[in-house]
Amino acid sequence: SQQGEEDPQALSIQEGENATMNCSYKTSINNLQWYRQNSGRGLVHLILIRSNEREKHSGRLRVTLDTSKKSSSLLITASRAADTASYFCATVGSQGNLIFGKGTKLSVKP
Amino acid sequence: DTAVSQTPKYLVTQMGNDKSIKCEQNLGHDTMYWYKQDSKKFLKIMFSYNNKELIINETVPNRFSPKSPDKAHLNLHINSLELGDSAVYFCASSQERGAGRFFGPGTRLTVL
C-alpha cells in the first residue's frame, strides 16, 4: 500500500530559485529515501535519511526528517534547468520494503 | 559500465502472449527487485528477491513470475498478457533490503 504522500504534486520555478518538496507518511520507518526520475528514465537514488537523523545534506540537496510529524522535506537550492524531473520519497519499514509516494513533478524554467 | 541493465527497452505485444524481461546488475548486490510504474507514475513493488528469499507482493497476479539464474540476474516472466499489464517495469538492486535502490532504465510494455 502507498506510504508517502508528496506535496505539492507539481512545482514550477525559475532557475536560481529554491525548490521545496514535502513528504508525509503514515507508519513508523527505519529510513526515508528521496529519488529523482527524469522523463522516460529510471529512478536515481538521491539521499537516505535514517529515523534517528534530523537533517542531511548532499551538494545542493538538503533533507529534513521529523518523525514526530511523520514528514520529510527535500530542498534543492539554486535550482537549474537540469533539475527538472519528478521527485519521489520512499519509506523503509521494519521489513525492509521500500514504498513510494506519488511524486512531485518539478519544472525549472531557464 | 551500466550498473543495472534491462532488456528490452520497449516491448509491444498482443493480449494473451507470454513475454520475458531480462535484468542484470553488476554491483554485486544481494537483493534484486521488480517494480511496476503505472500511467500515473505510481511505483509499486512486485517482487523482492535474494538468494535466500522471494517476497511477493500479494496483489501481483500469479501470471507474473521472477526467475533468477544467478545472483546477478532477475528476469520477469509474464504469462497470458492482459491490457492492464501495460506499464513501465523497473528492475532494481540494493546491497541490503533497507538500503537505497539502483534502478535500471525501465521496460515500457504495451499490450494491444
For residue A40 the three cell numbers come to: 522516460
Q: Which amino acid is at B100?
A: G
Could you report the per-residue pLDDT of A89-105, keeping only the tens digit for each?
999 988 788 899 999 99
Cβ contact, residue pair B103, A2, below 8 Å: no
Query: What are the chain B neighbours of A35 within 8 Å (beta carbons)?
Result: 101, 103
Cβ contact, residue pair B45, A2, below 8 Å: no
- End-to-end CA, chain B: 34
Could you report the per-residue pLDDT of B61-91, keeping only the tens digit for each?
999 999 988 889 999 999 999 999 999 999 9
Lowest mean pLDDT: which of A88-92, B7-11, B48-52? B48-52
Query: pLDDT grade, residue B1 (50/70/90)?
Result: low
Could you report the per-residue pLDDT of A43-91, keeping only the tens digit for each?
999 999 999 999 999 999 999 999 999 999 999 999 999 999 999 999 9
Per the rule left: phi > 0, alpha: psi between -120 and 50, beta: everything else, B26 is: alpha
B106 pLDDT higher than 80: yes
Question: CB A21: neighbour CB atoms within 10 A?
Answer: 24
Query: What are the chain B neighbours of A6 within 8 Å (beta carbons)?
Result: none
Q: Which amino acid is at B79?
A: N
| Per-residue pLDDT, A5 | 78
How many angstroms separate the CA of residue A60 from the nearest CA in chain B? 19
Could you report the per-residue pLDDT of A10-44, keeping only the tens digit for each?
999 999 999 999 999 998 999 999 999 999 899 99
